[in-house]
Structure 1
Amino acid sequence: MGAMDELINPTVVDNLASIMRDHGRVDTTALLATAETLSGRRLRARVDTVRAGILATLPSSYRGTVALTDAMFEDSRLDGWMIWPLSEALVHRALDGSTTVAFDDVHRVLAKLTTRLSGEFAIRDLLIADHRRSLAIIGEWTGSPDDHVRRLASEGTRPRLPWAKQVPALIAAPGVTRSILDKLVADPSEYVRRSVGNHLNDISRDHPDTATAIAADWTAEHCATPTVRRGLRTLIKRGDLDALTLLGFSTTKLGLEPPALHADHVHIGETLPYTVTVQNLGDSDANVVIDVVLTSPTATGGSTEKVFKLARRLIPGNGTVTVSGKRSFTPLSTRTIRAGRHSLTTQANGQRSAPTFFDVNA
């Protein structure tokens, strides 16, 4: 198990049970029992397990559940990762009641809890149930004085929020969150603006033309370059000409040499240094974003590629630049390294060189 999995642990469960007992007449036996079942489970499974224990502990009615939660909120111990399964349990109870009153009110509770830990995961079930009604409420959060609440308006409605349930309506129709993003793109908090950029990047994965159109509007109205750059990063890696042009990168023809490797093989756990050379074949200066593309074998015998940022350079007309880098082949919890034939390719402003092949050995 990785460190992330341990965010929901027996201590978190014990502390939450103590808070619930202190503020309500509840039997926490079922909740406490979940602490013994967490070992060996991944984070998502732990959240689901503890959420079930919370639901077995909370009052059966939504009104009773919210009354207890509001009382618990006054306790400063209610903080951190225990909020995640608690907020999901609250949403479950609200939806179980099938009333618009509970549906609307649980948004209020999530906005309160998100000041302790983001409610971005819990809110997904509300969006799945009725995205139009939910978005109408969430849209009001853009005017909140609390940056955690404003961020939730953007982060919770991201089309492809990591670790979260997908909301098909948000992927199919990115325009439904446009008004939220427009109100937050120039937010005074970088915390909020980064979420807006990530939201735009999600949109770009499925609707590149929509993303570049939104980015063009923001650039003209707000001078939102850092947010736009974050929002178009996937398109830049793909070499999308509209995104490159919008961010001021040149479309002139470039001369790209295959990466020069310091060795023709590397062992798992080692690092491979390399250099890449890019030539500006035009007469005018060229603003260039330089990446390397790693192609690796898959478990099924195919291949997969990943683009890694390397550098940004202004190359004079007919000039050449050489950039050094290194690629680690150390396995991580989020990255599996497989032995076999790999390659590195130079990419600059979407243009690619021929690949350089090398072997990764066990």
Structure 2
Amino acid sequence: MAEALKDQMFQRPFFEALGKSIGKVYPSFSTKDFFSYLYNEDWEDKSLKERMYHASQSLHETLPDNYDEALDILSKVYQKFDGFDAMIFPDFVEQFGQDHYQLSIEALERFTQFSSAEFAIRPFILKHPEKTMDKMLSWSRHDNHHVRRLSSEGCRPRLPWAMALPLFKKDPGMIFPILDNLKSDPSLYVRKSVANNLNDITKDNPDLVIARLEKWQTDASKETQWITRHALRGMLKAGHPNALKLLGYGSAKVSVDNFKLKPRKIAMGDSLSFSFELRNDGKRPQNLMVDFIVHFVKSNGSTAPKVFKLNTLKLAPGETQLISKSHPFKVITTRKYYSGKHKLAVQVNGKVLGEQSFDLKV
């Protein structure tokens, strides 16, 4: 079994190095007191983020009470640390710097270059939306790709593990100028964030995303094309016609023949194999996005669909392509399986063209 993230991050060697670094610039710092606050009776039971919050609070107990002084000390040592552990620096700002806006925003710009301030910026957005988003718009033109990424990642409406931004679920208008500046960013790290932000927005405002991406397609760079494909992944799986059309997958004139599925009865650990012939019935070549959908049985006996990518291809008029796949049914942490009659369907350009049932025994 893979080691839990909370047992990989925020480990004692990191805190020892942090205490040593702070002690060099602030001799009054007591690593002993810091560790006494840090490793309390609840430490082992805390989640990853809870450990980060608690570590920031332990720093607060052992650094000067004056926020400006404490922040100045942290600003002298942060460059010695990076990765997830270093998120303790922006987290300190989030917890104790919200009444010191300018100092805190400047600190987040520095700290994010060695970790990420994607969580820490969000309370500032909620409290001061216009001036914080103006600042993030300027960050979208920053020389450092970590800062540019923060301008996108920090305002995602549905950022995992983070507080939601209801104002942007309702109206993402302030986000789009930032993404416009990043639509051809040379950094894949940044482009992934832009695509994820747009994918978030599709959950609440799909038509706004389509409209924005349509504007981007005029002389679209390869970077913009990459973002477009990844931003629409949820809508493509759902068979959204405008998303498919934007990527060149229109209404398909195709047939699915000789759809075979075996075995019809499987148990956990087995694989389900299926094949079919896909034929272009139209008079022109067609770009086709082929998916398969498994309708998984839920605890109440109903089923819920899950779309899996299968293939993209171009068929000439009258051309037939044999497509086959084997799908394993194995224990995974993200899904609980239940016994019962499942279904597997073939979807082409968002339209279901055939389905068959099979029994799974858990």
- Normalised to the residue count of structure 2, the TM-score between the two structures is 0.89
Structure 1 counterpart of 2:67? 62
Structure 2 counterpart of 1:82? 85
Structure 2 counterpart of 1:144? 142
- Shift in alpha-carbon separation, 1:312–1:30, aligned structure 2, 3 A: same
- Shift in alpha-carbon separation, 1:5–1:326, aligned structure 2, 3 A: farther
- Counterpart-to-counterpart distance in 2, 1:20 and 1:322: 64
After superposition, the C-alpha distances for 1:21-67 in whole angstroms (9 at most, x for unaligned) are 33323344355543464435432333333333333333322202211
Q: 1:18 is paired with a residue of what secondary structure?
A: helix
Structure 2 counterpart of 1:325? 325
Q: 2:97 is paired with a residue of what secondary structure?
A: helix
Residues 281-300 of structure 1 aligned to structure 2 (within 5 Å): 281-300=281-300
1:113 equivalenced with 2:133 (yes/no): no
Structure 2 counterpart of 1:22? 24
1:361 partner letter: K
Residues 1-362 of structure 1 aligned to structure 2 (within 5 Å): 3-11=4-12, 12-24=14-26, 25-28=28-31, 29-35=33-39, 37-74=42-79, 76=80, 78-95=81-98, 98=99, 102-223=100-221, 224-256=224-256, 260-362=260-362
- Counterpart-to-counterpart distance in 2, 1:17 and 1:301: 55
Q: Cα RMSD between the aligned structures?
A: 2.3
2:95 partner letter: H
- Shift in alpha-carbon separation, 1:267–1:245, aligned structure 2, 3 A: same
- Counterpart-to-counterpart distance in 2, 1:315 and 1:90: 56
- Shift in alpha-carbon separation, 1:30–1:359, aligned structure 2, 3 A: farther
After superposition, the C-alpha distances for 1:286-342 in whole angstroms (9 at most, x for unaligned) are 101111112112234433221111110102223322222232322233333333332
- Counterpart-to-counterpart distance in 1, 2:258 and 2:128: 51
User: Could you tell me the percent identity over the aligned residues?
Assistant: 27
Q: 1:206 is paired with a residue of what secondary structure?
A: coil
- Normalised to the residue count of structure 1, the TM-score between the two structures is 0.89
- Shift in alpha-carbon separation, 1:236–1:62, aligned structure 2, 3 A: same
- Shift in alpha-carbon separation, 1:149–1:343, aligned structure 2, 3 A: same
Shift of 1:221: 4.3
Shift of 1:141: 0.7
The runs of 5 or more residues in structure 2 that have no matched partner are none
- 4+ long deviations beyond 4 Å: 30-33
2:54 partner letter: T
Q: 1:352 is paired with a residue of what secondary structure?
A: strand
> Is the Cα–Cα contact under 8 Å of residues 249 and 287 in structure 1 kept in the other structure?
yes
Q: 1:211 is paired with a residue of what secondary structure?
A: helix
2:38 partner letter: T
Shift of 1:204: 1.4
- Shift in alpha-carbon separation, 1:335–1:39, aligned structure 2, 3 A: farther
Residue-pair matches, total: 355
2:214 partner letter: A
After superposition, the C-alpha distances for 1:77-118 in whole angstroms (9 at most, x for unaligned) are x222222233112122111xx3xxx21321221121112112
Q: 2:308 is paired with a residue of what secondary structure?
A: strand
After superposition, the C-alpha distances for 1:122-147 in whole angstroms (9 at most, x for unaligned) are 21222222222211111111121111
Q: Which has the higher helix share?
A: 1
- Shift in alpha-carbon separation, 1:190–1:80, aligned structure 2, 3 A: closer
Q: 1:274 is paired with a residue of what secondary structure?
A: strand
- Counterpart-to-counterpart distance in 2, 1:47 and 1:266: 44
- Shift in alpha-carbon separation, 1:345–1:302, aligned structure 2, 3 A: same
Shift of 1:259: 5.4
- Shift in alpha-carbon separation, 1:170–1:253, aligned structure 2, 3 A: same
